[in-house]
Amino acid sequence: MSESELNLLYSEIEQELRASVRELLAHRCPWQSVLDRVSHHAPAEVTDRALWQELAELDVLGLFVPETLGGAGATAREASSVAEELGRAVAPVPFLGSAVLATGALVALGTAEEQVRALLTDLAAGQRCATLVVPLPTAPGSGFPSQVRADGSQLTGTVPGVVDALSADVLVVPALGAEGPGLYLLPADQATLSPVVSLDQTRPLAEVTLTGAEATRVAVGQQAVDAVEAALLTGAVLLAAEQLGTAEWAFDTTVAYLKERVQFARPIGSFQALKHRVADLWVLLAQARAVVRHAASALAADSEDLPLAAALAQAFVSEVAVKVTEEAVQLHGGIGFTWEHPVHLYLKRAKSASLSLGTADRHRARIADLVGLPPAP
Amino acid sequence: MTPSSEAPPDAAELRARVAAFVAEHDPATTDQTEFLAARYDAGLAWVHFPKGAGGLGAPRALQNVVDAEFERFGFVPVDREGLVIGLGMAAPTIAAFGTPEQRDRFLKPIYTGEEVWCQLFSEPGAGSDLAAVGTRAVRDGTDWVIDGHKVWTSLAHRAQWAILLARTDPDVPKHRGLTYFLCDMTAPGVTVRPLRQMTGEAEFNEVYLDEVRIPDSLRLGGVGEGWKVAQTTLMNERVSIGGRPEPREGGLIGIVSDLWRSRPDLRTRGLHEELLRLWVAAEAARLTKERLRQQLAAGQPGPEGSATKLSFAELNQRISGLELELRGVEGLTYDDWTFRRPEKPDLLGRGPGFRYLRAKGNSIEGGTSEILRTIIAERVLGLPPEPRADKDLAWKDLPR
């Protein structure tokens, strides 16, 4: 499929899906409850498993999983619309680790092997959670991870910054063994998980240590390499969608605040200095939406253009989300610097996400490579 | 052909009408003007215009369907660049506000390209503040007598007709004292002079109006309603967007990228970083335009058009600036300062110095970037207006 034919609009089904997720989150995950969770819970308890179960009941955890593997048999486009809503709510659920990275790797195996099929079915149903054991900053195209070594079926190594490991039942581990790269599954309780105090408290991280842990190999060689790359590409695209949602909440909230906050006997939104700043943010968001739709469509269509579309999405949307949330803090003035106002949750999410799955800089370097703009000698 | 009915035609019916039309008029052998005239008579010129005015009263979005269908049959009109004001601004305004006589007289030759139009709006003292225009129109029997000075008028030296905004009542606040006219550019008292710009060429003109007589039958809309009529014109200026997707690296970014590829000797690390940032921004802007195109084709127009204008202005300026730096000693040269009168700016065909200078106009023409930001903030985002000094004062009492 030519890249210019990709559909950049939202389908009716996507809009319905978005509406039902938004309704659930408005009811079950208002910012007050997110703020309460991060204020009063340890990292391992921030994740809202009950909410995850309710999302599973909406059938949105296995959207791009084929029906034969227990999923909804939709595409990454629908998953992208859901990711936008989860970002909009900074929902503390293991979407990125479980429904995107782990699921992405397992779907890419394209296998009907019983263990993988059963796991995918459980992940889509919210019965079990999983994650891909790589440092969260790992970018697509950066080669097979080398932190973990396999000795037969026993894994050893330490992986820092693993997302959603604390809520995982199963770990999906890329490891290098005698036969080269392999992808392994093991129960999470076979690993030592050290919680990290994370900048984005709504997205718990852990250091995963494996010391001869017994695991099952589900792929080896090129198949394992491809599965990890597919997971990272899927992650890059759906994370960009989530970043868009995060930025949109910050933007909408800021525009509303500019209309109601009065100083110098005028709503501050009547000052041109502020108007022009939000107008520029609106332009960036309109562009980010087009870029995210393009990447989601490329992923859904398994387009040849996917690596470029994913790199573009991360290079562009990461910076937009950081810019919009930073401006949201500034435009809120004093209240924006407090703990009681939720805008900090969004700033932290946006900044952390911009380091996740590759910084904008790494993605620009990847684009340079993909479109033939080599660096200076 | 489907029999005509009261309900406006849908996409399927329009396709059938185009097929029937093309069967009667072979695009390969029919003269373009003749073909377009017949297309106008068949209501397939602007399908969203009323019946008898080149249209069929169809939804606006279906115009894309009709254009695509004609293109499929091999009909792509040529030499239409000089017609942008007539097609894009005069026609929709005349369709919306014109009397039956005005529609009959003007719409068809606009569509066929037999009459070229220009726009007499901006003045030396009324740029961003268009409602402040001071060109006077004074009633004299069945005529109006016009005196004033207009600027930035593209195509005035070729136009037979102009849309004109003039002040008929200086004693009321500025938005209320304006009237909209159709002005014969060949009438006595109309003087057109080229307005040379920093690039050395003159795409635009100044137009002096010295006791120009316009019959009242060429007034468009009511006396004092010129601002409302002009809004329709300006709205259409901003929605014009191409019917075809633009390819990746289709604009200035393609020129600089190709230069980077072909000239390893010019590469530096800092410029590489800047090039990549601009490549990303240009691709995002291109996809935004493509998304807007898809929205329009699906009948879901959005306000993203103003985003597109803002971002392309900034991009063109940054990319053309980068190109000069990249070229080193060549960047110090200019292709040609000879005074000339181009039909439209040739950003891709001219030299890098020209691109850099011409792009400076992109954030000024058709609404400055600052005005566009204010429009986005107030009309799209609903932020409150700034307190204003000029809303209730009579135009003649405004500071100037």
Instruction: Check which CATH number belongs to the domain holding B274 and give it.
Output: 1.20.140
Domain extent at residue A58: 3-129
| B267 inside domain | yes
Domain shared by A288 and A214, yes or no? no
Last residue of a domain, one of A160, A195, A224: A224
Q: How confident is the model at residue B245 (pLDDT cuts 50, 70, 90)?
A: confident
| B383 inside domain | no
Domain shared by B155 and B234, yes or no? yes
Taking CB atoms and an 8 Å cutoff, what residues of chain B touch A275?
Answer: 373-374, 377-378, 383
Q: Is A50 helix (H, G, I), strand (E, B) or coil?
A: helix
Q: Please write the tens of the pLDDT for every residue from A41-86.
A: 999 899 999 999 999 999 999 999 999 888 888 999 999 999 999 9
Closest CB to A275 among B275, B300, B383: B383
Contact map slice: B 223-262 vs A, CB within 8 A: 245, 247-249, 257, 260-261
Q: How confident is the model at residue B368 (pLDDT cuts 50, 70, 90)?
A: very high
**pLDDT at position B234:** 83
Q: Is B191 helix (H, G, I), strand (E, B) or coil?
A: strand
Domain shared by A266 and A367, yes or no? yes
- Total domains in chain B come to 3
Helices (H), chain B: 11-24, 32-41, 62-72, 84-85, 91-97, 100-112, 226-239, 252-262, 269-297, 304-327, 352-359, 369-375
| A265 inside domain | yes
Per the CB < 8 Å rule, is A275 touching B373?
A: yes
A interface with B, Cβ–Cβ < 8 A, is 3-4, 7-9, 255, 258-259, 266-267, 269-272, 275-276, 278-280, 282-283, 286-291, 293-294, 312, 315-316, 364-365, 367-368, 371-377
Q: Please write the tens of the pLDDT for every residue from B27-51.
A: 989 999 999 999 999 999 999 999 9
Taking CB atoms and an 8 Å cutoff, what residues of chain A touch B384?
Answer: 259, 266-267, 269-270
Closest CB to B381 among A7, A255, A364: A255
Q: Is A7 helix (H, G, I), strand (E, B) or coil?
A: coil
Domain shared by B290 and B337, yes or no? yes
- Ramachandran area for residue A265 (φ above 0: left; ψ -120 to 50: alpha; else beta): left
Q: What is the ipTM of this complex?
A: 0.96
Q: How confident is the model at residue A2 (pLDDT cuts 50, 70, 90)?
A: very low
Domain extent at residue B142: 117-238
Q: Are the beta carbons of B132 and B167 closer than 8 angstroms?
A: no
Q: Please write the tens of the pLDDT for every residue from A231-265.
A: 999 999 999 999 999 999 999 999 999 999 999 99
Domain shared by B265 and B218, yes or no? no
List Cβ neighbours of A115 (8 Å cut-off, separation of 6 or more): A185, A216, A218
Domain shared by B217 and B246, yes or no? no
Phi and psi at B195, nearest 5°, equal: -115, 100
Share of chain A above pLDDT 90, in %: 95
Q: Is A110 helix (H, G, I), strand (E, B) or coil?
A: coil
Domain shared by A216 and A231, yes or no? no
| B395 inside domain | no
B237 is a catalytic site residue: yes
Least confident of A26-30, A279-283, A299-303, B63-67: B63-67
Per the CB < 8 Å rule, is B374 touching A276?
A: yes
| A283 inside domain | yes
Q: How confident is the model at residue B282 (pLDDT cuts 50, 70, 90)?
A: very high
Q: How far apart are CA B100 and CA B88, in angstroms?
A: 20
B299 in A contact zone (CB under 8 Å): no
Residue owning tokens 């014009």: B240
Closest listed residue to residue A286, CA positions, set B252, B310, B277: B310
Q: How far apart are CA B85 and CA B155, in angstroms?
A: 9
Share of chain A above pLDDT 70, in %: 99
- Total domains in chain A come to 3
Q: How far apart are CA A73 and CA A66, in angstroms?
A: 4
Domain shared by B234 and B265, yes or no? no
Q: How confident is the model at residue B243 (pLDDT cuts 50, 70, 90)?
A: low
| A377 inside domain | no
Structural element, H or E, at residue B300: none
Taking CB atoms and an 8 Å cutoff, what residues of chain B touch A296?
Answer: none
Q: Looking at residues B318-322, what average pLDDT do you find?
A: 98
| A86 inside domain | yes
Domain shared by A125 and A101, yes or no? yes
- The mean pLDDT value of chain B amounts to 92
Phi and psi at A156, nearest 5°, equal: -140, 135
- CATH code for the domain of B210: 2.40.110.10
| Catalytic residue from among B206, B237, B274, B304 | B237
Q: How far apart are CA B327 and CA B331, in angstroms?
A: 5
Q: Looking at residues B9-24, what average pLDDT do you find?
A: 94
